[in-house]
């Protein structure tokens, strides 16, 4: 059950059956990387912080129901606010509990102590404890984005970093703190920038980084059909007027189709060198919008631009792809599905369906290019594939406008 640091609700309760908590001693399992360069002072502070965790565990254990087997607690704190979720497991069920304000205060003090280590204060503290006294403690320094229900407003992280300066902030968190001001482009801003670019003689860069829009979109569509037909949760998808893709490694992109044979392709690479240079080495953010027309704006840009994590932007007009001033070709591999060549597209399709389907996949791609895909072609592609969803596959192609 979630608990808010600002919502005190009393002192820890005794165990429900009136006996002392089951945890009287704990053994630590540190799943973090060992740093051979850790100073003696770090070790001293770590020992102090670990002792404080011991007491936190005891107080949480006192909240558990009779016969509990283990509990898990997750704390997410900044200097401004905090939240906690905690749940116990018994032989019969799981039971959430509310973490009292007194325990939250202990956790905040423990974080203040741990902040004196060279790594700085943790953002999340994760505890798993068994009734035999085995404790696994993990300190989360933000290598991966936090769950939405544990993410605080950007100003809380800015205040925390102002109090506890860090040599480096994770790219995703730096972008989150930067917010829409970093890469947002409202229609009004886009219109003003387009006028200014024209007046100054600034133009977009014509590029062949990506295959022409018709081929790109057709490859995207057939891949979407294959992944949907195979009932895969991954892979590209087609919605009305938009193609989108999210990889399993937090990279992704969107392709918006606009009237007048126009389109906007944008997205972000999770480990983008361009964003790392900007947020961690204080270089300028990539110039993605120089020379862009006013219709390249927040309405059709990948939502990563609202969190400062857009690492490429292309627009299609006059039968060509254009981009801003920064060369972003090296940003494209992970955020885009395999749409580069027909051969690569077919290979990706057969990787999902299985070997032996190459000819049928090639026929599907050819028919999609001619906008003459039939249900029979789809059936042939999935011949022998178990539990296929042909309706979902056909719907993707219908939305793409490539069915006969």
pLDDT at 1 over 90: no
Q: Residue 111 above 50 pLDDT? A: yes
For residue 355, the Cα-to-chain-centroid distance in whole angstroms is 32
The predicted pLDDT at position 9 comes to 31
pLDDT cut 70: percent of the chain above it: 91
- Please give the order of strands across the beta sheet that includes 262-268: 205-207, 320-323, 312-317, 262-268, 252-258, 242-246, 237-239
- Locate 339 and state its tokens: 């749409």
Q: What is the pLDDT of residue 275?
A: 98
* Cα 323 to Cα 195, 279, 287, 326, distances in angstroms: 17, 22, 9, 8
Closest by CA to 324, choosing from 305, 342, 339, is 305
**Other Cβ atoms within 10 Å of 279 Cβ, number:** 24
Per-residue pLDDT band at 40 (split at 50, 70, 90): confident
Given pLDDT bands bounded at 50, 70 and 90, which one contains residue 102? very high
**DSSP assignment letter at 68:** -
pLDDT at residue 399 in the model:
98
Show the tokens assigned to 258: 């606009």
Helix (H) or strand (E) holding 59: helix 40-61
pLDDT band at 85 (very low <50, low <70, confident <90, very high): very high
Q: Which residue pairs, CB below 8 angstroms and at least 24 apart, start in 176-182? A: 176/151, 176/307, 176/308, 177/308, 178/279, 178/307, 178/308, 179/154, 179/306, 179/307, 179/308, 180/305, 180/306, 182/285, 182/308
Q: Enter the tokens of residue 106.
A: 């202990």
Residues recorded for the chain: 404
In sequence order, what are the residues at sequence separation of 6 or more whose Cβ sits closer than 8 angstroms to the Cβ of residue 222? 345, 349, 361, 364, 365, 368, 397, 402
Angle between helices 390-400 and 213-229 (to 10 degrees): 160
Whole-number pLDDT of residue 36: 53
Q: For residue 214, what pLDDT is reported?
A: 98
Q: Where in the chain are all domains bearing CATH 3.30.500.20?
A: 3-142
Mean pLDDT of the chain: 92
pLDDT-based confidence at 70, cuts 50/70/90? very high
Q: Taking 60 as the threshold, does the pLDDT of residue 6 lie above it?
A: no
Nearest to 183 by CA among 335, 333, 326: 326
pLDDT interval class at 38 (50, 70, 90): low
**Is the pLDDT assigned to residue 109 strictly greater than 50?**
yes
Mean pLDDT score, 70-94: 97
CA Rg, the chain, in Å? 26
Q: Which CATH number fits domain 3-142: 3.30.500.20, 3.30.590.10, 3.30.160.60, 3.40.50.720?
A: 3.30.500.20
pLDDT band (50, 70, 90) for residue 26: very low
Mean pLDDT of all residues in 342-365: 97
Mean pLDDT of 347-360: 96
Q: How confident is the model at residue 167 (pLDDT cuts 50, 70, 90)?
A: confident
Instruction: Look up residue 199 and give its two tokens.
Output: 């007046």
Q: Identify whether the C-beta of residue 309 lies closer than 8 Å to the C-beta of residue 331.
A: no
**pLDDT digit string, tens, across residues 299-309:** 999 999 999 99
**213-266 confidence digits (pLDDT tens):** 999 999 999 999 999 999 999 999 999 999 999 999 999 999 999 999 999 999
**Following CA atoms 317, 323, 325, 327 in sequence, which dihedral angle do they give, to the nearest 10 degrees?**
-150
**342-353 and 213-229 helices, crossing angle to 10°:** 0
Q: How confident is the model at residue 59 (pLDDT cuts 50, 70, 90)?
A: very high
Any residues with CB less than 8 A from the CB of 366 and at least 6 apart, and which?
Answer: none
């Amino acid at each position: 059950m979630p608990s808010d640091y600002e919502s005190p609700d009393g002192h820890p309760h005794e165990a429900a059956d009136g006996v002392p908590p089951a945890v009287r001693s704990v053994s630590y399992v540190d799943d973090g990387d060992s740093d051979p360069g850790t100073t003696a002072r770090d070790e001293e502070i770590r020992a102090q912080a670990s002792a404080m965790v011991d007491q936190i565990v005891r107080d949480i254990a006192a909240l558990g129901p009779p016969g509990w087997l283990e509990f898990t607690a997750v704390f997410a704190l900044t200097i401004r606010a905090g939240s906690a979720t905690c749940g116990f497991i018994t032989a019969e069920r799981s039971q959430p509990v509310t973490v009292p304000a007194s325990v939250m205060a202990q956790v905040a003090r423990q974080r203040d102590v741990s902040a004196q280590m060279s790594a700085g204060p943790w953002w999340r503290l994760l505890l798993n404890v068994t009734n035999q006294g085995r404790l696994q403690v993990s300190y989360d320094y933000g290598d991966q984005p936090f769950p939405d229900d544990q993410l605080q407003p950007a100003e809380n992280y800015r205040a925390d970093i102002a109090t506890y300066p860090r040599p480096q902030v994770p790219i995703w968190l730096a972008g989150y703190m930067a917010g829409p001001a970093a890469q947002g482009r409202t229609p009004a801003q886009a219109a003003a920038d387009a006028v200014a670019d024209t007046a100054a003689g600034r133009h977009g860069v014509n590029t062949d980084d990506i295959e022409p829009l018709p081929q790109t979109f057709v490859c995207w569509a057939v891949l979407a059909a294959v992944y949907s037909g195979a009932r895969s949760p991954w892979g590209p998808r087609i919605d009305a007027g938009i193609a989108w893709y999210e990889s399993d490694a937090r990279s992704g992109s969107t392709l918006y189709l606009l009237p007048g044979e126009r389109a906007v392709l944008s997205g972000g690479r999770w480990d983008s060198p361009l964003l790392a240079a900007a947020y961690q080495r204080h270089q300028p953010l990539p110039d993605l919008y120089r020379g862009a027309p006013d219709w390249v704006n927040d309405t059709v840009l990948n939502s990563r631009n609202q969190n400062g994590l857009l690492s490429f932007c292309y627009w299609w007009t006059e039968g060509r792809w254009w981009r801003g001033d920064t060369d972003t070709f090296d940003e494209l591999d992970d955020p885009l599905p395999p749409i580069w060549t027909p051969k690569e597209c077919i290979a990706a399709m057969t990787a999902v369906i299985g070997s032996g389907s190459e000819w049928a996949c090639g026929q599907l791609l050819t028919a999609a290019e001619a906008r003459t895909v039939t249900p029979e072609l789809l059936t042939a592609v999935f011949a022998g594939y178990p539990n296929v969803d042909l309706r979902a596959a056909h719907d993707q192609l219908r939305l793409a406008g490539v069915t006969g």
